[in-house]
Chain A
């Protein structure tokens, strides 16, 4: 939790270096097992910074598993074995010297169902900071107020919440809750934001506004999004990765993948012939 080691671990900093050909996430030959069941087979993929990459494919094909392995949260769900390497910002996250809390601070996640914590809106935003900062260094009330305000402004939630910051986060609408779940990652200055079907619990208006928000955020973060919604993948992402049965079948810019899929299987899936 020492701040100097934090900045060394994240050499890219908040503003990604211009023109650095560096990949944000680079996996090589990743095999992943839940007990004896193999869920990922030799996954090698390069995910670029500052774009939105969608993971698509039929249920059970390993999209969420792959997403969860990017911050090693998989390991909280039981007996998981991972082989191969996953490099984030040039560091293999399976190296022994990787601290999981630090990794997850840099690689945040947004879930399918909005899951604000059962505390106030204000406390939700600074929850991450609280768990990563020793109490004396947490800053004065005024600093925290500023952090909360700027995080909420970034997700266009400030105007509706500024007079009710002490209210429970669970009193917000689903759309607002989901925006809050994105906002609470921001004070941690993450590099990568993982999203597991972030809009599937929302209505059409909510989906539109959250997609807009995600699209704005891409300028500063690497965003990887699992989606079952073909339309969303097409609208909202810059690149798509099509997975099937734990393997990567095709990875291409979105327009190319939808207009000119290289693989027969991809074509069949995006046409809706199975899945």
Chain B
């Protein structure tokens, strides 16, 4: 490289050109990978709704399923999943959020905190079918709930709690430490600080985390398989209140995920569009719960600024 160059030192040498070329390749490769993320989403949604289009209608949503689900609508499974989400939320949100607050705001760094942390991590790694078996043992049998909405909701709650604790901790940790310092130095207790300053500024993150996780879990089949889901239920939905709230807490219930599992594979002569109809409604329900919670988050966020 000792030979004098005719070029100005700022023009790229051949080594520089190789570097720049590699930079471009690396960048575009990663861009393609990132873009690939939207392909399955679009493919799933478009394909599902295309295949389901023959049955999708208002009456499909609000009618009860016909015999074996070969005809009729999906009102009962839809309501089952909806109330499963709601019941699980009521069980898991208080416990998960309170535990998350304790771990983030109070817990000293000692063996107990570390043990709780490890429990949370381990619980998150347990496969959902194992949660289902636990639910059968703990809630259905031992606590004598029977196969019921409440037993299934408890199972979903146990399954989702690690993610909810983690989401709560992350949302709390995002609140600047300086707010807490300001409160403590005026003699506010930790609870006063948490209640008046930390929680109002993290509630958006906490709520979104909780709702997203519970709706995701409620879309799963395994945890409700043995704990309360039924292929069909005998419920007369002719009265309006029975139509809106078809299940009691100790009833077996129909759910979209389990209904899909049944109609997709278990029943001979099932019309194709009935299978896709269930899948389309399930995904639409979960996407709309997600959108609502994201809208809620941005609304809550727009009200805080620091």
Give residues in A with beta carbon < 8 Å to B.
Answer: 71, 73, 76, 78-79, 100-105, 108-109, 111, 113, 115-119, 127-128, 130-132, 168, 170, 181, 184-185, 188
- Interface: B179 (CB within 8 A): yes
Contact A184 B186, beta carbon cutoff 8 Å: yes
List the 6 closest pairs (A to B, CB-CB), nearest first. A104-B187, A115-B178, A101-B187, A105-B187, A109-B185, A128-B186
CA A102 to CA B181, docked complex, whole Å = 16
CA A112 to CA B206, docked complex, whole Å = 30
Partner of B185, one of A79, A104, A170: A104
How many Å from the CB of B194 to the closest CB on chain A? 12
User: Which residue on A lies nearest to B197, using beta carbons?
Assistant: A117
Partner of B186, one of A118, A119, A127: A127
- Residues in A neighbouring B304, C-beta threshold 8 A: 118
- Residues in B neighbouring A113, C-beta threshold 8 A: 178
- Residues in A neighbouring B181, C-beta threshold 8 A: 73, 76, 109, 111, 115
Contact A131 B188, beta carbon cutoff 8 Å: yes
Contact B182 A188, beta carbon cutoff 8 Å: no
- Residues in A neighbouring B187, C-beta threshold 8 A: 100-105, 128, 131-132, 188
How many Å from the CB of A1 to the closest CB on chain B? 10
- Interface: B265 (CB within 8 A): no
How many Å from the CB of B183 to the closest CB on chain A? 7
Category for how many chain B residues contact A: 20 to 34
- Interface: B24 (CB within 8 A): no
CA A179 to CA B176, docked complex, whole Å = 20
- Residues in A neighbouring B109, C-beta threshold 8 A: 78-79
Tell me which of A103, A108, A113, A128 has the highest count of chain B C-beta atoms within 10 A of its own C-beta.
A128
Contact B178 A118, beta carbon cutoff 8 Å: no
CA A229 to CA B295, docked complex, whole Å = 48
CA A181 to CA B201, docked complex, whole Å = 19
Given contacts A108-B186, A115-B182, A118-B201, is CB(A131)–CB(B192) below 8 Å? yes
- Residues in B neighbouring A184, C-beta threshold 8 A: 186
Contact B189 A131, beta carbon cutoff 8 Å: yes
How many Å from the CB of A5 to the closest CB on chain B? 14
Question: Can you list 24 residue pairs at the A/B interface with Cβ under 8 Å?
Answer: A73-B181, A76-B184, A103-B187, A104-B184, A104-B185, A105-B186, A109-B185, A111-B182, A113-B178, A115-B179, A115-B182, A117-B179, A117-B182, A117-B197, A118-B304, A118-B305, A118-B306, A127-B183, A128-B187, A131-B187, A131-B189, A131-B192, A131-B196, A170-B305
How many Å from the CB of B211 to the closest CB on chain A? 24
Partner of A104, one of B186, B196, B201: B186
Contact B189 A118, beta carbon cutoff 8 Å: no
How many Å from the CB of B265 to the closest CB on chain A? 53
Contact B183 A131, beta carbon cutoff 8 Å: yes
CA A101 to CA B304, docked complex, whole Å = 27
- Residues in B neighbouring A130, C-beta threshold 8 A: 196
User: Which residue on B lies nearest to A102, using beta carbons?
Assistant: B187
How many Å from the CB of A8 to the closest CB on chain B? 17
Q: Using an 8 Å CB-CB cutoff, how does the interface string of B195-206 with A read, 1 for contact, 0 for none?
A: 011000100000
- Residues in B neighbouring A132, C-beta threshold 8 A: 187
- Residues in A neighbouring B182, C-beta threshold 8 A: 111, 115-117, 181
Q: Using an 8 Å CB-CB cutoff, how does the interface string of B105-126 with A read, 1 for contact, 0 for none?
A: 0000100000000000000000
How many Å from the CB of A101 to the closest CB on chain B? 4
How many Å from the CB of A197 to the closest CB on chain B? 14
Contact B186 A170, beta carbon cutoff 8 Å: no
User: Which residue on A lies nearest to B186, using beta carbons?
Assistant: A128
Partner of A73, one of B179, B184, B192, B305: B184
Tell me which of B179, B185, B189 has the highest count of chain A C-beta atoms within 10 A of its own C-beta.
B185
**B256-306 interface (Cβ within 8 A of A):** 304-306
- Residues in B neighbouring A78, C-beta threshold 8 A: 109
How many Å from the CB of A269 to the closest CB on chain B? 28
- Residues in A neighbouring B305, C-beta threshold 8 A: 118, 168, 170
CA A76 to CA B180, docked complex, whole Å = 10
How many Å from the CB of A149 to the closest CB on chain B? 19
